[in-house]
Structure 1
Amino acid sequence: MNINGRGFHLLVLVSICMLLADWLPEHFKLWFVSETGHVGHGQTMNWLIIVLLFGRWKHARSLALFVNGLQFLFGALILFTSWKWGGPWLGYSLTTLLHLVVLKVLNDSASVREFLEEKQLA
């Protein structure tokens, strides 16, 4: 495992974005819902995906793209409805941006692909 490579550093950025997207709803509830509202956000799936990415499981990148794509679409939908009919939008705009960064890096970075496929070549 080459921890000095660009792929590893980009994977750390992906992990930070995923964890931050999970952390924000827990600690800044009012950015997502009104005071009487409830925001539920499971953190287990992103932790599992991060472990699988660093473990270089063969399908981890595809799973991460799928899950973050769904989270991005859900955040964009909620952001659109909050903008159209009013409501808190700061939290959803931040998490949607974080998921977009994750999608962009995982989908477009050749160095991340190389890092994840190193194990299979050895």
Structure 2
Amino acid sequence: MTAQLTIGKLAQAAGVNIETIRYYQRRGLLDIPAKPLGGHRRYSAEHTKRVRFIKRAQALGFTLEEIGGLLTLDEACTCSETRALAVHKLEAIEQKMADLASMRQALDDLVQQCDAGDGGANCPIIDALVSA
């Protein structure tokens, strides 16, 4: 028989808080085990693995909706579809990085304009934001 955990021990083992476990249950990402009469729900090692999977997928930028899709694909053993989702997520991350690089450059240019200014009443940064 495998070790059975209370919700508190599950949360601790997975590195989350109890409300996170309950939220994942409400979202349908984590099964709610049956509650024995007069007892507490018991969670298995599989529950711990699933919560850790969800947290790792979130750290990679997947939304909870996307994670639900990944879990469904895992159960259906469809690696090619899972790969396609990962490629799509990678492309989205690369686009965000390009957007952030553009934002960084624009802000750097504005800061340099401000540094080169004469300290007058008009701030180049504010002026650029107003006229954009």
Per the normalisation by structure 1, the TM-score is 0.34
Structure having greater relative contact order (Cα 8 Å, sep ≥ 6):
1
Greater helix content: 1
Asked which structure has the greater CA Rg, the reply is 2
